[in-house]
C-alpha cells in the first residue's frame, strides 16, 4: 500500500502546478483575487493589514496592495528577523523608506514603524498548498508558524484574521498532513473567491 505523501512531496507537487500557469493567467488571477478581497468587506472593516510582496511564481498581491493603499489602509510587509528566532516583523509601507533584498531575494522595506503579527487586524499570508479544512503548507521556513504560535492558545477574538492567498490550483484534495505547530487559516483567497473556515477552538 502507498504511504500518504509527505509535506515536502506535496510542496514540490504544488510548486509545479503554480509554475505551469501562463503570465496572462497570473495577471488576470491577481486582479480577480483583489476584487474578491475588496468585495468581501474585510478590507473595509479592518485597518492594519499585513500583506506580502510576491516572490517567484506566487500570486501577485500588487493589485490588492494598490487598492488597499488607495482606500487609506495601513499596509505592512513581512521582514525576516535579524539574529535568533523566526518571528517576522511587519514594516509599514511609508514614503521615503529604504528597500533591500532578504536572504531569499524577497524585497523588504525598512521604515520607521514595525509591529508584530498580533498587532495586525488581518494578515494575508503566502502559501504553497491549502486543503478543505484551512490547513496550509508554506515554503518550509516556519516563519509564519513561529510568528503566530501564540494563536494556539487562541480565543475567538485574538488577532489577526488569517487569510491564505493562493492560485486555485494550489488546492489539495483531502487533508494535508498536520504538525502540532501549524496554525489554521480563517479563510482562503484565490482568483475564484474568498472561502471562510470555521476555526475549531482547542
Where is the binding site, in residues?
7-11, 53, 58, 136-144
- Indicate which single residue of 58, 108, 131, 182 sits in contact with ligand ATP (rule: CB under 6 A): 182
Q: How far is the CB of 191 from ligand FFO (least distance, A)?
A: 17
Q: Of all residues in this chain, which one has the CB nearest to ligand FFO in the complex?
A: 141
Considering only the stretches 12-20, 102-110, 139-147, 192-200, report the one whose residues sit in contact with ligand ATP under the rule CB under 6 A: 139-147
Distance in Å from the first CA to the final CA of the chain: 33
For cell 523566526, what's the residue?
86
| Binding-site residue positions for substrate | 53, 58
The per-residue DSSP string of 80-94 comes to PPSSS--PPEEEEP-
Closest-CA residue to 130 (of 64, 56, 59): 59
Residue 129 backbone dihedrals phi, psi, to 5 degrees: -150, 155
- Indicate which single residue of 78, 134, 164, 184 sits in contact with ligand FFO (rule: CB under 6 A): 78
Strand partners, 123: 50, 162
Q: How far is the CB of 100 from ligand FFO (least distance, A)?
A: 13
- Indicate which single residue of 50, 63, 134, 138 sits in contact with ligand FFO (rule: CB under 6 A): 138
Residue 48 to residue 152: CA distance in whole angstroms: 22
Q: Determine, following the binding rule CB under 6 A, whether residue 7 of this chain makes contact with ligand ATP.
A: yes
Amino acid at each position: 500500500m502507498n504511504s500518504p505523501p509527505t509535506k515536502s512531496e506535496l510542496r514540490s507537487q504544488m510548486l509545479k502546478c503554480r509554475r505551469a500557469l501562463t503570465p496572462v493567467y497570473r495577471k488576470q488571477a491577481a486582479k480577480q483575487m483583489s476584487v474578491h478581497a475588496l468585495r468581501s468587506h474585510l478590507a473595509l472593516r479592518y485597518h492594519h493589514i499585513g500583506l506580502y510582496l510576491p516572490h517567484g511564481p506566487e500570486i501577485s498581491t500588487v493589485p490588492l496592495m494598490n487598492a488597499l493603499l488607495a482606500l487609506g489602509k495601513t499596509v505592512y510587509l513581512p521582514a525576516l528577523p535579524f539574529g535568533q528566532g523566526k518571528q517576522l516583523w511587519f514594516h509599514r509601507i511609508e514614503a521615503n523608506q529604504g528597500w533591500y533584498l532578504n536572504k531569499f531575494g524577497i524585497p523588504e522595506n525598512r521604515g520607521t514603524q514595525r509591529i508584530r503579527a498580533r498587532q495586525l487586524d488581518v494578515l494575508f499570508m503566502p502559501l504553497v498548498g491549502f486543503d478543505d479544512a484551512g490547513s496550509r503548507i508554506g515554503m518550509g521556513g516556519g516563519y509564519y508558524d513561529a510568528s503566530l504560535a501564540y494563536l494556539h492558545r487562541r480565543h475567538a477574538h485574538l488577532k489577526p484574521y488569517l487569510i491564505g492567498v493562493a492560485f486555485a490550483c494550489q488546492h489539495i484534495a483531502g487533508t494535508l498532513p498536520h504538525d502540532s505547530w501549524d496554525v489554521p487559516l480563517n479563510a482562503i483567497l484565490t482568483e475564484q473567491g474568498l472561502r471562510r473556515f470555521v476555526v475549531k477552538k482547542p
